[in-house]
């Protein structure tokens, strides 16, 4: 067990150091990507802020909206995964070949890239949030260590979900040239069903309850609601975590099938 830990610790240490240094070369570019990620929730907050001028909307007043979208920005940055774009390129341009020749599954490199990228960008956003909170009390959250611990757990599971969703969708590049378009479609749906444009409570009730049958709320809205305190009570929280774990399991299964079949097909084309 210890040998196993040391071996994987060394592997991940090397992969993450590499990813961190690559990102360091592109630090200005990364700041721009973070900025781009901030704009969508900022615009949404601006609009809801204007709408809530007269009073609470669907139980959300201006303070709730501000906290929701600040939490959303952070959680989104910590969970988003670009892997379908990388996979699409790896498969189309043949960059997957040397990765397959390594004695390590290519998914490990992708995981390490994600961890390094999220550590850097998540830290930037956290510092920005703290600085804004200094001058704007509205976005201060009450000190609640237990809730923050639950949020951390929910964010880790959500990040894993979005990683496998993105990776699996990217694997479709084995069969189609439009894998990234499918990911765009997914992003369009998640705008509403994952709570990116509005808290789910503000959607038409039929849409909101339909969203609950998919993975969307669990990959973003649930961790956000845990952080802001909108999700409270043991039943709600347990239900959320169970949903997360079920969908994570299903996506890992789909990822496994897509990988096995895709590699077989890829080998056949190449060989």
Partner 1 sequence: MSARRAPRVLRVLGALWRLNVAEELQYRANFVASVVGTLFYLATALLTLALFFRHTTSLGGWDYWEVVVLLGVFNALSGVVEAVLRPGIGQLAEQVRSGDLDLVLSRPVDAQAFVSFRRLDVWRFTDVVLGLTLAAYALFRLGHPPSVSASLAFVVALGAAGVVVYAIWVALMSLAFWFVAVENISVLFDALFEGARYPVTAYPGALRFVLVYLLPIAWTTTVPAGALTGRFGPVTAAAAAAVALVAFVLTRVLWQAALRRYTGAGG
Residues that bind partner 1 (CB under 8 A): 25-26, 28-29, 32-33, 35-36, 38-40, 43, 46-51, 57-58, 178, 181, 184-185, 188, 191-192, 197-198, 202-204
Q: Rounded to the nearest whole angstrom, what is the least distance from the CB of residue 192 to partner 1 in the complex?
A: 7
Distance CA 80, CA 86 (A): 13
DSSP for residue 173: G
- Residue 208, Cβ neighbours under 10 Å: how many? 18
Residue 208: CB partners within 8 Å, gap ≥ 6? 200, 201
- Residue 152, Cβ neighbours under 10 Å: how many? 13
Q: Which is nearer to partner 1, 178 or 264 (CB)?
A: 178
Q: Which is nearer to partner 1, 62 or 147 (CB)?
A: 62
Q: Which is nearer to partner 1, 12 or 33 (CB)?
A: 33
Q: Which is nearer to partner 1, 21 or 39 (CB)?
A: 39
Q: Which is nearer to partner 1, 15 or 66 (CB)?
A: 66
Element (H, E) at 249: helix 234-270
- Residue 236, Cβ neighbours under 10 Å: how many? 14
Q: Rounded to the nearest whole angstrom, what is the least distance from the CB of residue 62 to partner 1 in the complex?
A: 11
Residue 173 · residue 263 · CB < 8 Å: no
57 forms beta bridges with: 60
Q: Rounded to the nearest whole angstrom, what is the least distance from the CB of residue 133 to partner 1 in the complex?
A: 18
DSSP for residue 212: T
Q: Rounded to the nearest whole angstrom, what is the least distance from the CB of residue 47 to partner 1 in the complex?
A: 6
Q: Rounded to the nearest whole angstrom, what is the least distance from the CB of residue 259 to partner 1 in the complex?
A: 26
Residue 235: CB partners within 8 Å, gap ≥ 6? none
Q: Rounded to the nearest whole angstrom, what is the least distance from the CB of residue 128 to partner 1 in the complex?
A: 15
Q: Which is nearer to partner 1, 95 or 184 (CB)?
A: 184
């Amino acid at each position: 067990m210890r040998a196993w830990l040391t071996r994987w610790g060394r592997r991940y240490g090397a992969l993450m150091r590499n990813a961190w240094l690559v990102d360091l070369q592109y630090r200005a570019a990364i700041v721009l990507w973070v900025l781009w990620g901030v704009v969508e929730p900022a615009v949404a907050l601006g609009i809801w802020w204007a709408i809530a001028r007269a009073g609470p909307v669907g139980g959300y007043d201006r303070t709730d909206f501000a906290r929701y979208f600040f939490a959303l920005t952070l959680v989104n940055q910590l969970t988003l995964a670009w892997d379908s774009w990388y996979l699409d390129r790896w498969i189309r341009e043949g960059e997957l070949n040397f990765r397959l020749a390594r004695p390590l599954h290519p998914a490990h490199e992708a995981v390490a890239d994600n961890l390094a990228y999220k550590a850097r960008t998540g830290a930037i956003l956290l510092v920005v949030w703290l600085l804004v909170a200094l001058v704007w009390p509205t976005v201060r959250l009450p000190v609640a260590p237990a809730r923050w611990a639950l949020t951390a757990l929910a964010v880790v599971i959500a990040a894993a979900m979005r990683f496998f969703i993105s990776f699996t969708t990217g694997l479709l590049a084995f069969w189609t040239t439009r894998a990234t378009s499918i990911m765009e479609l997914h992003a369009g749906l998640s705008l509403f069903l994952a709570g990116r444009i509005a808290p789910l409570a503000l959607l038409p009730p039929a849409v909101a309850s339909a969203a609950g049958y998919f993975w969307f709320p669990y990959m973003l809205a649930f961790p956000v609601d845990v952080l802001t305190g909108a999700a409270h009570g043991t039943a709600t929280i347990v239900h959320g975590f169970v949903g997360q774990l079920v969908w994570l399991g299903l996506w890992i299964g789909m990822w496994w099938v897509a990988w096995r079949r895709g590699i077989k097909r890829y080998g056949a084309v190449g060989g």
